[in-house]
Chains A and B, each alone.
Chain A
Amino acid sequence: MASTLTSPRPDVDTSAAPAQLVIDQVHRSFPNPEGGTVDALVDANLSVRPGEFISLIGPSGCGKSTLFNLIAGLDAPSSGRIVIDGVDRAGQQGLVGYMLQKDLLLPWRTVVENVVLGLEISGVRKKAAQAIARPLLTTYGLAGFENRYPHQLSGGMKQRVALLRTILFNRDIILLDEPFGALDAQTREQMQEWLLDLWDDFHKTVLFVTHDIDEAIYLSDRVFVMSARPGRIIAEFEVPLSRPRKPSVVTSPEFVALKADARELLNGAHTTHTTSTPSSEEGTVA
Chain B
Amino acid sequence: MATLVKPPTAEAQPTSEGSLQELATLRRTTTPPMRRRRSEKEPRGWFVAALRLGVVVIALVGWELGVRAGLVDPFFWSQPSSIWETGVIAFQSGDILADARFTFTSTVLGFIIGVLGGVAIGLSFWWSRAYALTAEPLVIAFEAMPKLALAPIVVLVLGLGMTSKVAMATALVIVIQILNTYSAVKAVDKDLTTLMYSLGASRWQVFVKVVVPSTLPWVASSLRVAIGLALTGAIVGEYIGSNAGLGRMIQYAGSTYDIALIWVGVFTLAALSMALYLVVSWFEKRLLSNITHTR
Contact = CB atoms under 8 A, between A and B. Distances in A.
B25 to A, nearest CB: 37
Interface in A82-98: 93-96, 98
B188 to A, nearest CB: 11
Interface string A98-129: 10101010111000000001101110000000
Contact of B201 (A72, A104, A121, A151): A121
B213 A108 contact: yes
Given A106-B210, A108-B213, A121 B199 contact: yes
A87 to B, nearest CB: 16
A107 B191 contact: no
A149 interface: yes
Contacts of A73: 198
A166 B14 CA distance: 59
Contacts of B191: 100, 102, 104
Contact of A100 (B194, B293, B294): B194
B293 A149 contact: yes
A128 B94 CA distance: 59
A74 interface: yes
A107 B292 contact: yes
Contact of B196 (A108, A121, A122, A151): A121
Contacts, number: 56
B195 interface: yes
A180 interface: no
A169 interface: yes
A76 B196 CA distance: 17
B213 A117 contact: no
Nearest to A120: B209
A93 B197 contact: yes
Interface secondary structure of B, over-half rule:
helix
Interface string A141-164: 000000001010000000000000
Contact of A107 (B198, B200, B293): B293
B200 A151 contact: no
A74 B189 CA distance: 16
Interface residues of B, number: 21
A173 to B, nearest CB: 12
A93 B198 contact: yes
A286 B223 CA distance: 68
Nearest to A96: B198
B295 interface: yes
Contacts of A94: 198-201
Contact of B198 (A98, A106, A108): A98
Given A93-B200, A121-B201, A104 B294 contact: no
A79 B216 CA distance: 42
Contacts of B292: 107-108
Contact of B213 (A93, A106, A118, A151): A106
Interface in B3-61: none
Interface string B187-230: 00101101111111100010001100100100000000000000
A64 to B, nearest CB: 16
B291 interface: yes
A131 to B, nearest CB: 20
Contacts of A74: 194, 197-198
Task: Find the residue from B199, B201, B213, B295 having the highest chain A CB count within 10 A.
Answer: B199
A149 B293 CA distance: 7
A255 B236 CA distance: 79
B198 A151 contact: no
B295 A151 contact: yes
A72 B294 contact: no
A96 B205 CA distance: 18
Given A100-B191, A102-B191, A121-B205, A108 B291 contact: yes
Contacts of A93: 197-198, 200
A275 B210 CA distance: 43
Nearest to A102: B191
Contacts of A120: 209
A96 B200 CA distance: 9
B250 to A, nearest CB: 44
B212 to A, nearest CB: 10
A169 B200 CA distance: 10
Contacts of A117: 199, 209
Contacts of B194: 74, 100
Contacts of B216: 108
Nearest to B195: A104
A104 B194 CA distance: 10
B233 to A, nearest CB: 32
B285 to A, nearest CB: 16
Given A100-B191, A149-B293, A151-B293, A106 B199 contact: no
20 contacts: A73-B198, A93-B197, A93-B198, A94-B198, A94-B200, A96-B198, A98-B195, A98-B199, A100-B194, A106-B210, A107-B294, A108-B216, A108-B292, A117-B209, A118-B199, A121-B199, A121-B200, A121-B201, A122-B199, A169-B199
For the complex of A and B, list the 4 residue pairs with the smallest distance between their C-beta atoms, beginning with the closest. A94-B200, A98-B198, A149-B293, A118-B199
Given A74-B197, A93-B198, 13 more contacts: A93-B197, A94-B198, A98-B198, A102-B191, A106-B209, A107-B294, A108-B291, A117-B199, A120-B209, A121-B199, A121-B205, A121-B209, A122-B200
